[in-house]
Every structure is written in structure tokens, then in C-alpha cells.
Amino acid sequence: MRKLLKYFKGYKLESILGPLFKLLEASFELFVPLVMAQIIDVGIKNRDMGYIFRMGGVLVLLGVVGLTCSLTAQYFSAKAAVGIGTMLRNDLFRHINTLSYKEIDTIGTSTLVTRMTSDINQVQSGINLVLRLFLRSPFIVFGAMVMAFTINFKAAMIFVVTIPLLSVVVFGVMLISMPLYKKVQKQLDQVLLTTRENLLGARVVRAFNRQDDEAENFDQENALLVRLQVFVGKISALMNPVTYVIINGAIIVLIWTGAWQVEDGIISQGEVVALVNYMSQILVELVKLANLIITISKALACANRVSTVFAQQTSIVDSGEGREGKDVGRDAKVEFKNMDFFYAGAKEPSLSGISFKALRGQTIGIIGGTGSGKSSLVNLIPRFYDATQGEVLVDGRDVKDYPLTQLRQKIGVVPQKAVLFKGSLRDNMRWGKSDATDQEIYKALDTAQAREFVDSKEKGLDLMIQQGGKNLSGGQRQRLTIARALVRQPEILIMDDSASALDFATDAALRKAIRENTADMTVFIVSQRATTIKNADRILVLDDGKLVGLGTHRELFDQCQVYREICLSQLSEEEVRQ
């Protein structure tokens, strides 16, 4: 939480002026009961209409000045709150983008979305209310008590008893409700996770006719959230009636004792009215303070949750200017040296004892069963994850010694899931290279076998892509993501099962074009199709995280049982021999 206080530095003036003008407003408000006492004790008692009108004018003036101070305070408070919220949201988004796959997998996407939206909005509202009311309400409460002592010491003792009782109620509710609000926010995360899964998997849910089951699951999660909210709401709701009972009891005692004192001539009627007004002011301000504390409780819980994300440091540390590695061979581009890799929290390695070299210009095929570690292997090259043991070398240099920007500039990645962004086709292609010319883009589209369908759309590179590429088929999205990687003209191209939605003819044409147009490029092709990788220069066969085969198609078919089984399950005898 303390780390978030630095955001107030940019809004020091607003953070001071907001509460200051609120205190000025409160000061003018404290004079109102005294003016009313004078109107009663002097104006009404002496039937002096001129005096009454003059004091009425003073009341109007106090109201106008107080309103001006209040509006000014509102402006500065809102400016500070919105500004801090904006800075916090920007920094959190920037920080999330520095996290590696490991941290994002651990925290969860739905949790990060909640932190970015709901939690920061709560923090922003809390800052706004704190700047406006946190000093004003206690100032009026204690100011009213002090003013009461200036009127009559004995009557003011009622304030001394009442205010501590109210403080016990207010702070007691706060201490009970704060942990409960944390549980509410945690359950809100779960509801958002359920909603996100259902929306992303809408087609699967409907294909298996599980709408009723998903609706029931959502009802259960939402019902638990409602129960938690109702429970904490009931506790918070106790605050208003209990404070009203205490205040109204104090007013009864005040009027009762005040009546006897008026009868004895110790105190005037106007002063009794002023004391009652001060007690009413305390009631109003304590109700405000109670609501403020509830909001602060929520905001603090949310601020701590946001701080937790900021405290999460990436496991992928950018080394900046790294040291040069040893020369591992004139043409060696990528090398794995006895590499082991564990996912966070896993007891068994996802990859173990991996050692191989990929030479410059080679095409490396990677094949294996589901869960064998194919994607994990290629994700270690651009440092999406770090090897637990051993080394991963690029150009004879450990990837951990590269500045991340320099390392990833060498690599073009085509992920398993084809992701496109809303905007024009040209904008999407320039993710690979920001200053790419139309000619370079068309060349990449030709290689990726995407030129034909792009031309058929008639808008060329101005074709608008909807969010997630929803206006394109799966195969079209995959070809465009391949073209996006090729636009960069990387030294290393990683295709992680990125042609799974393509038909065999297009897949074959794609592999041929990549081989012909990327002579000096080291290409890694991850696939579960034997036809996709069988013409690669070298093939890695993975099984349960271990490298069980390394060689050409012919060598592996004769020597590697796992590879042989994969080929025989997918290819005819004639295709195997080709």
C-alpha cells in the first residue's frame, strides 16, 4: 500500500488544496449555530426585524462562501483522484507487460483484469472521498465539541460521552468489515473467471449442449458472491441505526438538561438550539464518516491487491548489456546444453536432459505426443520462460545474457493460437516490423500463402481486421500470423503448430515457400503432423519431456520407435518411403 503513495507526488498541490478548502467550508459551517443562537436570543427576543434580516444575510453569505469552497475542493479532489487513477492504471498495465509467462500463468488473466478495472476504480473513488471528507468530518465533530464548550461547559460534557461511543461503533464496524470486503473481492475474481471461461468457450459449451450446466455453475458462484455481499452489507448497515440511536439519545439528554438550565437562567434558549444544531452536525458528519470508512476499507483492500501485482517481479530479468558467450561453432545458431525445465509449482520436469544443436539455415522439425513438451521447448529460445538447469544458446551466447529486445529482434514467433488485433491488415503486419513497406508485407503474404485470399477481399492491406480476427477463418488467421512473423525477416523463425488449420495442399505449399524464401533462416516447426516435419533437415522427437530421437526422417523411422509409431498412425507405407 505504501508504494502507491508515490502517485500523490504528481498531485501534491491538489492533494493539499482539496482538504484545505473542505476545512474552510467546515469552519464556516461551524459558525452557523452561533448565528442562529444570536437570531433567537437577540433578534427574536427583542423583536428586532432589522437584526434578524442582517443575521439572515450573514447566514446566506456563510452558505455562499461555503458552497464556493466546497465546489473548489470537489474540483481539486476529483482532479487528483482521476489523475492518480490514470497513472496507476498506466503503470499497472506497463508492469503486467513486463511479467513473464510464468507470473501471468500463476496470477491468472481474470485476476489481472479485475485489478486493472474494478480495483483501481475503487482506489480512485477512495482517494476522492478521502481528500474531501477525511479531514472535514473529524474537524466538524471535534470542532462542534469545542464550540459546545465555549457555550456551556456542563452541557458540553454530553459531547465528551457521545463522541467516544460513536467512535467505538464506527471503528468497530470498520475492523469487522475490512477482512470481509477482501473475501468479497476474491469471490468477484472467481465470478469473472467463470464468466470469461464461458464467453471464450461459448462455441464449445453450445456444441456439447452444456448451457444449463454452465448457467448453474455461474449461479452458484454468483450466489456465493451475493451471500458475502449481503453479510458484509448487514454489518455495515448496523452503523447508521446505531449512530442515530446514540445521537438522538444524546439530543434528548441535551434538551432535558438544557430546559432546566434555561429555567434556572444558566443558559439561553438560543444556546440550547445551537447545542442541538452542533449535535445534529455531529450526527450528519459521523454518518458521512461511517460511509467514508466503508469506502476506505474497500479502497484499502483493493489497493493492497493492486500492490500485490506490483510486488510480483518477473522471473525473466533483462540483463541489459550482456556478456559475449563462447564460440560453439561457425554455423551453430541455437544450442541446448543438458537443459531441464520445470513449470512453477510442478514437481516433475516438463523437459529434462535436452541437448542438441540447430545450425544456421537449417529447418528443425519437432514432433511428439500431446504434453510431450514441444511448445515448452521452443518457448525457451525467446526467453518466454527460463531454463531451470542447463543452457540455451543463440549464436553461442546464453539467452540470459542478451538484452530481451536484442534477443527477440532475432526471432519471429508464430504462436499456437493465432492472435490478430483490431485494425487494418497493414497495421497487423507492422507488428513484425514497424517500418515495413507494402512490398515487404506482400512478399511475406506470398510466402505465407495468404496473398490470394487478401487480394480476393479487394481492400488489400487496408482490409479491416475485427477484434481477434473474428471476420477471418482459422486458416486465414494462421497464415496472417505466419506472414506477420516473416515480415520481420528474423534470423530464427518459430512456428508452434501454426499450420494446424491449413489443408494439406496449403500446408505443403507453405513449407515449400518457407524453404525457398528463407535460405539463411533457422526454422523451428512444431507439429503433430508427420507430413509437416518429415522433410526437415533434422527432427527432434519428444516423449514425456525427454528427447528420444534426433535425426532425419529416414534415420528416425528406422531407429526411433516413438517416431515410427507416429508415422505409421498418420502415413501410408508409400508416404513413409517418400
Report the chain (578 residues): mean pLDDT per 10 consecutive residues.
78 90 89 85 83 90 91 93 92 89 81 86 90 85 83 80 81 78 81 83 86 90 91 82 83 82 80 83 77 79 86 78 48 86 85 92 90 90 90 90 88 88 90 88 90 84 86 87 90 86 82 83 89 89 91 89 88 71
Nine-digit cell at 18?
A: 482539496
How far is residue 510's CA from residue 514's CA, in Å, rounded to a whole number?
A: 6
Amino acid, res. 102: K
Q: Which helix (H) or strand (E) holds 371?
A: none
How far is residue 252's CA from residue 188's CA, in Å, rounded to a whole number?
A: 44
Residues 6+ apart with CB under 8 A from 85: 120, 121, 123, 124, 127
Q: Which helix (H) or strand (E) holds 332?
A: strand 332-341
Answer left, alpha or beta for residue 371, where phi above 0 means left and psi between -120 and 50 means alpha.
Answer: left
- Options 1.20.120.550, 3.90.440.10, 3.40.50.261, 1.20.1560.10; which CATH number does 2-311 get? 1.20.1560.10
Nearest CA-CA partner of 536 in 393, 367, 387? 367
How far is residue 37's CA from residue 35's CA, in Å, rounded to a whole number?
A: 5
Identify the bridge partners of residue 392 per DSSP, sorted by sequence position: 336
Nearest CA-CA partner of 281 in 30, 23, 28? 30
Buried b (16+ CB within 10 A) or exposed e, 337-376: bebebbbeeeeebbbbebeebbbbebbbbbbbeeebbbbb
pLDDT computed for residue 321 by the predictor? 56
Residue 431 CA neighbour count, 13 Å, CB half: 18
Q: pTM for this structure?
A: 0.71
How far is residue 503's CA from residue 453's CA, in Å, rounded to a whole number?
A: 14
For the chain, the structural domain boundaries read 2-311, 332-577
Buried b (16+ CB within 10 A) or exposed e, 189-198: bbbbbbeebb
- Options 3.40.50.1580, 3.40.50.1820, 1.20.120.1200, 3.40.50.300; which CATH number does 332-577 get? 3.40.50.300
